[in-house]
Structures are given as structure tokens and as C-alpha cells.
Amino acid sequence: MINGPTQLSKPLQTLVTRALTLCEMMLPHCQAIYPFAAIYEDGKVGCLFTDEQLRIQNESFLIEQLQWRIIDTTTDSDSYSVLAYAATVQTEYHEKLDAIAINTTSPDGEENLLLYPYFRVGKRIVVSPPIAN
């Protein structure tokens, strides 16, 4: 079920805004975004990476590895996190739209999945307002 846009705390809004900006910069140069994660702790934003020694099997595997990195990094801390990856949204008319999925997590463990459909207009990327899942 799709609920309306979710109100985010200032740290999560900072992370989401930066993630969307990065996606808008990457998408004109590729078909879909490469999954990435970031954390916000003590007013600072940091990136999380997977273990490059692991052989990446597919995008789902990479997303799972990033989820574990978030858990390992933010456990017992007052951190916020985002995990961004490519998604497809199906409308009520069965039309499929490309989207940026951003999974947000607060220090209290609250999670939200925000879906930002986007469109290619020439060489520009136009990101629509989020729909919450």
C-alpha cells in the first residue's frame, strides 16, 4: 500500500537530499544507479562501502552487503542511515516507472522506504516527489 510522503528528521532529510543529488548526477551517464549507503552521525555524513574482496554476484547481494555494513556501523550509536538503489514502480494502470529507492533508518530503528520515480528528459533527470511504501 502506498502512503503519502513521510516527514523526515533533519539528519535523514540531509542524507536523502544528498543521495538524490548524487543519483541525479550519475543517471545521465548510466542506465541505473549503483547501490550505495551513507550514515549521519554527530553532524557528519559518511559513505559506506562493501568489502571489495567479495565477488559481487548481483545487485541484491550488494544491497544485502550494504545493509549489513549499516547494521555493523550503526549498532550502539546515535546514527541515521540511508541505502539507495534502483527500483521499478508499477502504477495502478500497470505502467512501469524507473525509481530511486531510499531506505532510511533512524537511531531508534524506525525504517521507511521512499520511492522517487524519475524520468529522462533529454540529458536531464527529473525526479518526482516521493511516494512512501
Per-residue pLDDT reduced to its tens digit, 66-79? 998 898 888 888 99
Burial pattern 50-79, b for ≥16 Cβ within 10 A else e, equals beeeeeeeeeeebbebbbebbeeebeeeeb
Please, are residues 84 and 35 in contact by the beta-carbon 8 Å criterion?
yes
Per-residue pLDDT reduced to its tens digit, 88-124? 998 888 889 999 999 999 999 899 999 999 999 988 9
Q: What is the DSSP letter of 23?
A: H
pTM of the predicted model as reported, rounded to 2 decimal places:
0.86
E-strand stretches of 3-63 = 36-41, 44-48
